[in-house]
Structures are given as structure tokens and as C-alpha cells.
Amino acid sequence: MIKEKSLLMLPGPTPIPPQVAAAMTRPMINHRGEAFFTLFDEVSANLKYVFRTEQPVYVFPGAGSGGWEAALVNTLNFGDKVLSVTIGDFGDRWFKVAGALGFAVERMEFAAGLAADPAKIAERLAADTDKQIKAVLIQHNETSTGVTNDVQAIARVVREHGALIMVDSVSGMAALPLETDAWDLDVVLTGAQKALMCPPGLSLISFSERARALSQTNKMPRFFWDLKAVHSAYTKRQTPYTPAISLFYALQAALQMLREETLENTWARHRLMGEMCRAGVKAMGLELLAKDEARASNAVTAVMAPLEPKVLRKTARDRLGVQLAGGQGALESSIFRIGHLGYVTPNDVLQALAATETTLALHGKLDNVGAAVGAAQQVWVARLRG
Amino acid sequence: MIKEKSLLMLPGPTPIPPQVAAAMTRPMINHRGEAFFTLFDEVSANLKYVFRTEQPVYVFPGAGSGGWEAALVNTLNFGDKVLSVTIGDFGDRWFKVAGALGFAVERMEFAAGLAADPAKIAERLAADTDKQIKAVLIQHNETSTGVTNDVQAIARVVREHGALIMVDSVSGMAALPLETDAWDLDVVLTGAQKALMCPPGLSLISFSERARALSQTNKMPRFFWDLKAVHSAYTKRQTPYTPAISLFYALQAALQMLREETLENTWARHRLMGEMCRAGVKAMGLELLAKDEARASNAVTAVMAPLEPKVLRKTARDRLGVQLAGGQGALESSIFRIGHLGYVTPNDVLQALAATETTLALHGKLDNVGAAVGAAQQVWVARLRG
């Protein structure tokens, strides 16, 4: 038999659609000329559509997590107090970045599997009567635990206090509902390699008018992530230094696909895949890491592993062609994760569930197979029937 | 007639070889798995070959000029004195970046068309008896003026003083000889979109052991460009955040081509193209911006424009299919530039010269055509005859 095809079910990088791959083969252009202006205009308009904002969405060559630095250095000054809300590994990392950059960071942690409690955040902010806290950092979707925060509710309590609300939506953007303008979010950042269906290498970030105004007078030393420079270049349909042209073409093609699907349908597809995945996982007797299923992520499902996750993933990959993700940090030996975001469809979820179930059977953890896919199919059928 | 083919003769972005374009269409992989390790190992080895160093060459998602920030924030502290030697627009930019990041920058300027004088630098450093100058910044090749600095001689005088020598080789690397280890250079930085024949989106940078040791104790706040983090990840064949996988594949393919050509032959090809270009330019009666032809760049030729550069470039592009570059900053209305680096061959130089000469004829600046290409052919013939 030929080798089984490979299916990438990671929470990023995610599979690249053929149109996106092909777009990267286009010949190089002058990034200071008309061909780039046209590309820039289309990408800019479609990013506003995806971010749900009227503000510019800046595209930096970089990694999604570079946006953590951009968010902070443009709006805050050395020693400013920041409340870092963390529900997992990526929250922890942003917390560390803020400390390394010279801010006074206070950590508010919720146990793995829980979402942040807006009431707890409100309580902490209410106690900050002299308004020392200048910004609140939060993940939209915590990739490491498969839990989605209630950004709308959190943004509301932060806005009441007056601090800036900064949202890492690296694995949330385009997969899960987010309303940058309607929820009045000050900074929203993401990467290209998740639900935006592109290869990694781009950092995308929006700022509210309030946040951008702060960048005008802000004294933090900065160059690469400087909002003033990128905003000034944007008014001339330019970037402050050479843009990643091939990745821009990839983004153009991916955003065209998203517009065609419509963002509402993209969200609905991810919701369906999340529901299918959770139904399948439970049908094979496994437990979700997410304590409250209402806050379980529709972009990635974290599952308590019934055998060593490395062994499980190796079997699924080498014998069944499906690449699952492991746990991060403290969860490395207790969970595995099924990514279902980006260029992924319900059939991919069925295949991932089948591979997981077959792996359990091969390792003697299950007697019968079929229940997982059946349960997921039922969810799909119900959706198709409307 | 069908539209004339388009030939990109810019000093970056440069044309992408078909192998490099094809490499970017490869499916996404897990960047924490075996497939990435293999890619990482090959790219790392070949980058050492191109940089002429035994030290690691770090690959960041970013722009070449991001390396300016990486060089400074890892090795110097706030207020440290830096001598910024500038012979053109990119020197000016690095000077400004160093100031914006909080260093005490002293500027040493040479007029457009001149290379930096190593004796002047030696003189300045000799006067710095209490060793306040911690680093000297220099361009290997100044893209905006088409002049190449004598990095070897400059490095020698800087090493005698004891400051760090930091070299921006964005448009020099792989086009022009540079010996990172043999010349004992502390920081060498470049981008992927020049002689490395890749699309823009990668920042490549090497540090001497001396410079890397400084990064261990250095107190500058930093995250994205942090050498400690990237070096620690490299020891595990990893990157501190998601690498730009498709651009890594592009770099892999381009480096394979460079190894096949051999770096010495790549340098010789650029030398030939530089000589051909200058011979052609002079044969049509035009003047080089470079005052000393021995220091004229073999990567890009800057030419005094006999008519408004924008008009010249528009005719060459729209009627003859050849994209030339304009001047930057103060030189915008006085020069045009012919890029001849990266995936460019002697035949491309002939075509660029023909387009330039025909443009002059169309604008009434020349009566006869043919001399430029003829002169360049003579250079080529002489080389072919050996």
C-alpha cells in the first residue's frame, strides 16, 4: 500500500489551500509601485472585514506573538502596571513578555481548563481606585487548553474601569466570533497561520483610535514594531520596510476565500467542527480538558490522554496519517489536542476522530471502534437537516 | 504584439527562481517535529557557508532592517555610545534606529558616492581614549548609492580600538565578498530578498562569540529580537516562536542553488555583471554616482540621470518591460539605479542596458543605440575567453 496521506490537525500551522500555495509562486514585484498598492488595498479592506473594524489592520513580517510586543510598546511606558489574565501557556508567555519589556505585570491566573471569570476581573479592577492598571491582557482563545474566553464580557468590565483591553486572538481570529469595534477592543492581534489559512510569517494587529492616539506621545524606545511608523506608511499604501510580498499574495488569496464563504459561515463551520469533535471524543469515553463545555473552543479540542500523549500521537501519525498536537508546559504528559481551524472541514474531523479511536484500540484502550465517528456524524446530520 | 515580458532589475526584491517559488507550495508541517528539524539543519549549515562563519546564523521572520534592532538591543545598554558611519540612505536609517532605541549615536557621514574612509574612522577611534564608543555601525554595500565599503579595512581599525563592528550586509551578502569570521565581524545581518534569491520576509543575522556573550548579561528590555531566546531554541533545532515555514523552504531551495554555483562563483558572477553594467553605462555617455570606480558596487549601479528619473523609469517599464529603481532621499530626482544581484545573469544586464539606452533615445537624449550593449558584451567576451 502507498503511504497514508498526511492530515495536519494541529492548532497551527494549519493546512494551506491550493489557491494560497499557488499565490506564493507569483513573480516578485516592486513593493514601492502600483502592483503593490493594488495588493495592499485589497488585503487591507478584507482584513477590516475579518477583524470587524473600521480601523487599519497592520501587517508586519513576523510571528503572531510579535504582536504581544507591538501591543505593549506602542501604548504603555516603562513601569506601567498591566493586568495579565492567563488561562494557559500562551497567557503565561504574554505575561513573561510584558515583564521582559519593563512593565509592572500583575498576574491573574485561572486553572487549566477554565475560562477567565469576568466577575473576578471586574472585582480586581474595582479595587484599583487610583487607576494604576493601564492595560488588561487576555487571550481570545487559549490554544494550549482549548478554552475560549468571554472577550465581550471581559471587555465590558475593562472599559468601565478605563484601562486598555488587549486581545491575543492568534488562534481565535476568523474561527470564533470577535467584534473588534462593537466590543470596543483596543488591541487585537493574530497570526496568519491559523484560521487565516496562510503559512506562518505574518503578524496582524489592529489598534483602536484611543490606543493609536497613545502611540503618538508614548516614549517607549522602539523601531521594528513602531505603530507611528507603520501608520504613517499606511496612509501612503506603503509599509515602513520591505513587506513579505509572497505572504501578502497568500493572504490575499486566503481572504478572498473567507469573503466567499462569508465570516458568519466560517464561524458556523468552526462551531460545527467543534461540536462534532467534542461529541466524538466523549463517545470514545474520553474527557475534555475544558471544565465548562460552553466555553470549550471551536478551534481546538484538548483531551485528557488515556495513554502517554507522545505514544498516542506517534501511532496516529505514523500508522494512520493524522497529525495531532501534544500538550504544552505542565500539560505535556496529560493531554493531546485536535486542531480544527483554518482550511479544515467536517470530513477532516471525522478522519481525526477515527484515527484517535483506532489508536486507542491498537493500544488496548478500547475494544470497539466506530462510536466516535458515528457520534460526530449525528451532529453533522442534525446540522445538515437544519 | 503581446505585452513585453517584465524584467525586475531592482536592488531588491529580486527575481525568484522557479525552484524557490515551487518550494513555497509545499504542504504545511509541524514546526515542532522531525520534518522541521531536517529543514532547519540543512538551512543552518548552508547559511554558515554563505556567511563564512562557524557561528549560528539566526533566521527571524521579519524584514532585513529588523536586524538593525537585533544587533543593538542584544549587545548594548541604554545610553551606550555608538558610532554610526553613513554613506547613504540606509546608513542614515540605521543611525535613526539607534537613536530611537535609546543609544547615544554619533554620526560620521561621507558624501553620496563616496565609500567610508577607514583612516577617518581610525582617527575618530584613536581620539576615543576612554573607550566610550561601544560599537561601530557600517553598511557593507550602500544600496542607495551603489557604493561598497571596505569592510575588511574598517573592521581592522575597529578591532584595534575594541568596539563591536556591526555590518549591515542586506544588499551585500552573497553578492560581494564578506568574511564574517576571518574579518572578525561581531554582527552581520541581511535579508532574504536580495542576493539570497528569496521573497522578502526573513531577517538573517550572525553574532560573534564575543557579541553573544554580551547578550547574556545585557539589560536592554527585549522580546522579539532577543538573542538569548533564539540561541537557546537553536540548541534544540527550534525557534522561539513559529518560524515562517514556507519562506524556510524557499531559503532551502535558494541555498542549494548557491552551493551548487559555489559562493566564489556567485561573487564572480556579480563582479562580471557589475563590470558589464558600468561599461554599458559609460558607453552611453552617462556618469556613475560612485566617485571611485574601484568602490562601485557589483550588486547595484547608481547612475546620474540625464532626464527626470521617474519619466525614464516609466518608459523603460511600460514600453520596454524593464523595471529600474529610482533614487532615495536626497537623490530621488538626480539618479536611477540598475539592480544586478540575486537571480540575475549577464543577459539580464544586457537587456537592462538596452532598455536604458533605448529610453534615452526615445526621449531625445541619444541619437544612436547599440553602444551600451556592445561595451558590456566586450566585457563578457573577455571574461569568457578567460
Determine the residue of chain B that is closest to A222 in CA distance.
Answer: B101
Cα distance between residue A307 and residue A314, in whole Å: 12
Q: Binning pLDDT at 50, 70 and 90, where does residue A1 land? A: confident
Domains of chain B: 7-14+264-385 (3.90.1150.10), 18-259 (3.40.640.10)
pLDDT for the residue numbered A178: 98
The two counts, helices (H) then strands (E), for chain A are 13, 14
- Residue A304's beta-bridge partner residues? A335
Q: Any residues with CB less than 8 A from the CB of A246 and at least 6 apart, and which?
A: A23, A24, A26, B16, B24, B199, B200, B201, B246, B247, B250
Q: What angle do CA A266, A269, A275 make, to 5 degrees?
A: 140
Cα distance between residue A303 and residue A145, in whole Å: 9
Tens of pLDDT along A49-106? 999 999 999 999 999 999 999 999 999 999 999 999 999 999 999 999 999 999 999 9
Whether residues A223 and B63 touch (CB distance < 8 A) is answered with no
Tens of pLDDT along B73-121? 999 999 999 999 999 999 999 999 999 999 999 999 999 999 999 999 9
Q: Are B329 and B89 in contact (CB under 8 A)?
A: yes
Q: Return the residue matching grid coordinates 498591566.
A: A82
All cell numbers assigned to B29:
508541517
Average pLDDT across chain B, whole number: 97
ipTM of the complex: 0.95
Q: Any residues with CB less than 8 A from the CB of B197 and at least 6 apart, and which?
A: B14, B15, B16, B17, B20, B254, B257, B258, B342, B343
CB contacts of B245 in chain A (<8 Å) are 13, 193, 199-201
> Is the alpha carbon torsion for A277, A281, A282, A286 positive or negative?
negative
CA dihedral B25, B26, B29, B31 (to 10 degrees): -70
If phi > 0 it is left, if psi is from -120 to 50 it is alpha, else beta; for residue A43 that is alpha
* Whole-structure pTM value: 0.96
Tell whether omega for the bond before B15 is within 30 degrees of 0, i.e. cis. Answer: no
Question: Taking residues B226-240, what's their average pLDDT?
Answer: 97
Q: Angle, nearest 10°, between helix axes B245-261 and B34-51? A: 40
pLDDT for the residue numbered B3: 86
If phi > 0 it is left, if psi is from -120 to 50 it is alpha, else beta; for residue B6 that is beta
Q: Which candidate from A24, A225, A241 shows the least CB-CB separation from B246? A: A24
pLDDT for the residue numbered B72: 98
Q: Which candidate from B15, B31, B221 shows the least CB-CB separation from A28? A: B15
CB contacts of A101 in chain B (<8 Å) are 221-223
The C-alpha of B102 sits at a distance from chain A's nearest C-alpha, in angstroms, of: 6
Whether residues B62 and A64 touch (CB distance < 8 A) is answered with no
Determine the residue of chain A that is closest to B65 in CA distance.
Answer: A241
Whether residues B68 and A223 touch (CB distance < 8 A) is answered with yes
Q: Binning pLDDT at 50, 70 and 90, where does residue B16 land? A: very high
Q: Binning pLDDT at 50, 70 and 90, where does residue B363 land? A: very high
All cell numbers assigned to B35:
520534518
Q: Any residues with CB less than 8 A from the CB of B22 and at least 6 apart, and which?
A: A25, B253
Chains A and B form CB pairs within 8 A to the count of 181
